[in-house]
Structure 1
Amino acid sequence: MPSSVVLVTGVGGELGGKLLARLGNSDRLERVIGVDTVSPSRPAVDRMGRAEFVRADIRNPLIERIISDAKVDTVVHASMNVHPAGPAPRLAVKDTNIIGTMRLLAACQRSPRVRKLVVKSTAAVYGAGPRSPAVFTEDSPLIPTSSRGYVSDAIDMEGYIRGLGRRRDDLIITTARFANLMGPTVDTVLTRYFALPVVPTIFGYDARLQFVHSSDALAVLERATLYDIPGVFNVAADGVLTLSQAIRLAGRVELPVPSSALPTVVPALRGAKLVDFSPDQIRLLNYGRVVDTTRLTEEFGYTPRWSTREAFDDYVHGRALRPVVDRYALAALADRVAASAATGQARTS
């Protein structure tokens, strides 16, 4: 049975707002309702077609009435926030992530019309550490850096969803674990980090990073909404970039600092309202994270259009980041230094 009446949460965010607009122009859907405590962006409102916006808080029991009165059959939960772009009240974010999810899932469980749930999750649930596998699969254990961090909210959310699946085994549940979003209009801790003129890194580490372009993330959520494809899927682009490569591509200046200096650097960036690094983000910059996307292409039926490198280049060009240093000159200098070091090593051997 195809979806007919869809409710999307988190439409005040970039991805949720664009999904609302995309679904609002689909001839396959009878009705599309977006809910959030803040309105979608103006571009999303201008393009939302037949979609409707309802100002509502998913932490409020009213969400159950909205689902029931509108005869919603498909719920897309896109409001989970584990990467606040800047400083944010931790308790408020956690309350929305946890209490909001519990209210929403309870409403889905009690509504006999709801037949499908699509969830925007994050690949950060796998954690990042010195003993992490080179590539995470969907069956890898979920390990938060901190039991009180933002990523622990996503792990708790997925636990609640598995519980809902056991209580309502008739539900079709699709969970998409996204790598870090990248694109010209994406505003996350990482996009702000790479826009800093001087980018602090942790001395002795050069993490492997994997991104997903926001347009590919949008396409995955749309496909999961329109088609019945149950399961858990890693969503990421092909290829990886090391942290140092990404910094050079952005034309930034890398500033390696010892890990002992982080207690000074992180509060300074947070106090300037530039970037708010959580423990999960710091470990990502230490150890990196790469996920396997075989299940996405073979079972879900989607291959990302943008590679990790292409997604990052589009972010750099779309933001019109003016290089602090010329990246080609910097790359040539790095090559000369490497060649000189190799020559010196050969002479001493």
Structure 2
Amino acid sequence: MGKVVLVTGAARQLGGRFVRRVQRDPGVDRVIAVDAVDPPHQLGDAEFVRADIRRPAITRVLAEHAVDTVVHMDVTGTPLGTGGGRAAVKETNVIGTMQLLGACQKSPSVKRLVVKSSTSVYGSAPRDPAVFTETTPPKSLPSGGFAKDAVEVEGYVRGFARRRPDVAVCVLRFANILGPAADSPLAEYLSLPVLPTVFGFDPRLQFVHEDDVIDVLMIASDDPRRGTLNSGTFNVAGEGVLLLSQCSRRLGRPTVPVPLPTVTWVGSALRTVGMTDFSPEQIRLLTHGRVVSTAQMRETLGFVPRYSTAEAFADFARSRGAGLLPPEAVARTVDRLSTLVSKERI
């Protein structure tokens, strides 16, 4: 008998891709795809179960199908379609995770749990270390938004691991996910025709390509008996970093540097019109940046991304088309502004 894999968040683009991919694994017998809404894409031979993980009914789903591997991908920063705003997202992230973990705890058949998390759990602060490792504590915990959700989710996962030591638990902390179909808050921000930035700051950013996300999830959900040490917490990101100014140049999108209080006001305005989630944590990221070490991902998990940070961003940029200005013109403008700012400081 092969594995029975349950995947949450199957109606989302990444969840659907993973469902279609994992069912091709010869070691997998059945795939149960779960979401609160019908998926807009095909799920292959997977069995789709319409269920809200915030409800106790998820316990029955695990029991009926004798699920042994759970891949929890329904931890996200954006609502699905018109499925509510920030409150609905937080409920799914936090309450949904609590219900799912409660169901896993009651299920004797569950032997493996994989959780999609985020490097946003480290926060972004002016006195942060140059590089975060998986054991580096944040200087200040995220105070809201998706980042705070991810912190709470990981806390519940650690509690579950203590209560069910027989279950292999793998937490994947993804850097900002980019690619042609990316739907994260940062992808929405980078798709704006003009990018508001924090005056005087040029943060370092890391990205991971959506194709690499699927690949590493396959490794994490694999049977440990095959020799893969795939339990624990791992940062997942492409090699290298990009400055926000480099991103704007490569997109051909001009930036508008504004003082920090004004950025907060701009964020409120953008949320009002529904353009992007410009939360306080997003503003901190675009101010101080964040870089994580991926040594454990490579050495322990045995995963090497196909795309570097720059290559993942390039694929995303191609999918978004030409910006308002040619990249060369944006580069000249940014360089000129940088020179003027430097002279003012002198």
TM-score normalized by the length of structure 2 = 0.91
Task: Tell me which residue corresponds to 1:326.
Answer: 326
Q: For residue 127 of structure 1, what is the aligned residue in structure 2?
A: 123
Cα distance, 1:159 vs structure 2 = 1.0
Partner of 1:145: 142
Residues 46-61 of structure 1 aligned to structure 2 (within 5 Å): 48-61=43-56
Matching residue of 1:37: 36
Q: Report the residue type matching 1:286 in the other structure.
A: T
Hey, what's the Cα distance between the residues in 2 that align with 1:341 and 1:209? 22
Q: CA deviation at 1:85?
A: 8.9
Name the residue aligned to 2:303: 302
Instruction: Quickly say closer, same or farther: Cα 1:86–1:193, change in 2 above 3 A.
Output: farther
Structure 2 residue 78 is matched with structure 1 residue 78? no
For residues 40 and 61 of structure 1, do their structure 2 counterparts lie closer, same or farther at Cα, with a shift above 3 Å needed?
same
In structure 2, the CA distance between the partners of 1:197 and 1:86, relative to structure 1 (3 Å rule), is: farther
Report the CA distance shift for 1:331/1:86 in structure 2 as closer, same or farther (over 3 A): farther
Match of 2:196 among 197, 200, 224: 200
Q: What is the rounded CA distance, in whole Å, between the counterparts of 1:110 and 1:337 in structure 2? A: 59
Amino-acid identity (%): 48
Correspondence for 2:22: 23
1: distance between equivalents of 2:125 and 2:38? 38
Q: CA deviation at 1:204?
A: 0.6
1:291 aligns with 2:287: no
Contact 1:3 1:74 in 2 (8 A): no
Cα distance in 1, alignment partners of residues 137 and 341 from structure 2: 41
CA positional deviation for 1:263: 3.7
Deviation of residue 328 (structure 1)? 2.0
Cα 1:335/1:85, change in 2 over 3 Å: farther
Change in 2 beyond 3 A, CA 1:144/1:340: closer
Cα distance in 2 for partners of 1:10, 1:164 equals 20
Paired letter, 1:73: D
Cα shift readout 1:245-294 (whole Å, capped 9, x = no counterpart) = 10111000110011121243112212222112111111000000000000
Rounded to whole Å, the distance in 2 between the matches of 1:139 and 1:190 is 25
- Shift in Å, 1:222: 1.3
2:151 to 142, 148, 155: 155
Q: Does 2:9 match 1:10?
A: yes
SS at the partner of 2:269? helix
Kept after mapping to 2: 8 A contact 1:59/1:100: yes
Structure 2 unmatched ranges of 5 or more: 225-229
CA distance in 1, matches of 2:234, 2:258: 36
Q: Measured at CA, do residues 165 and 263 of structure 1 come closer, stay the same or move farther in structure 2, by a change above 3 Å? A: closer
Larger radius of gyration: 1
- 8 A Cα contact 2:121 2:142, kept in partner: no
Whether the 8 Å contact between 1:3 and 1:73 is mirrored in structure 2 is no
Deviation at 1:150, TM superposition (A): 2.5
Aligned residue for 2:95?
99
Call closer, same or farther: CA 1:14–1:86 in 2, change over 3 Å: closer
Shift of 1:74: 0.5
Q: CA deviation at 1:83?
A: 5.0
Cα offsets for 1:199-244 (capped at 9, x unmatched): 1001011000000000001111111112321110000000111011
* Mapping of residues 195-274 of structure 1, within 5 Å: 195-228=191-224, 229-274=230-275
Q: Which has the larger displacement, 70-79 or 224-233?
A: 224-233
Secondary structure of the structure 2 residue equivalent to 1:187:
coil
In structure 1, what is the equivalent of residue 282 of structure 2?
281
Contact 1:15 1:214 in 2 (8 A): yes
State the SS of the aligned residue for 1:234: strand
Q: What is the aligned residue count? A: 338
Instruction: Give unmatched runs, 5+ long, in structure 1.
Output: none
Is 2:263–2:283's contact at 8 Å kept on the other side of the alignment?
no
Letter in 2 for 1:301: G
1:315 corresponding residue in structure 2: 316
In 1, Cα distance between the equivalents of 2:48 and 2:7?
A: 9
Query: Do the aligned partners of residues 85 and 192 (structure 1) sit closer, same or farther apart at CA in structure 2, a change above 3 Å counting?
Result: farther
Describe the shift of the 1:341–1:68 C-alpha distance in structure 2 as closer, same or farther (beyond 3 A).
closer
Say whether residues 1:168 and 2:171 are aligned partners.
no
Residue 186 of structure 2 aligns with which residue? 190
Is contact 1:59-1:101 (8 Å) kept?
yes
The whole-number CA distance in structure 2 between the counterparts of 1:246 and 1:334 is: 11
Q: CA deviation at 1:338?
A: 7.6
Q: Which amino acid aligns with 2:195?
A: V
Aligned partners of 2:38, 2:21: CA distance in 1, in Å? 16
Deviates more, 1:323-332 or 1:310-319: 323-332
| 1:120-170 residue CA offsets vs partner (Å, 9 max, x unmatched) | 000000000001111000001144331x43222211111111111111111
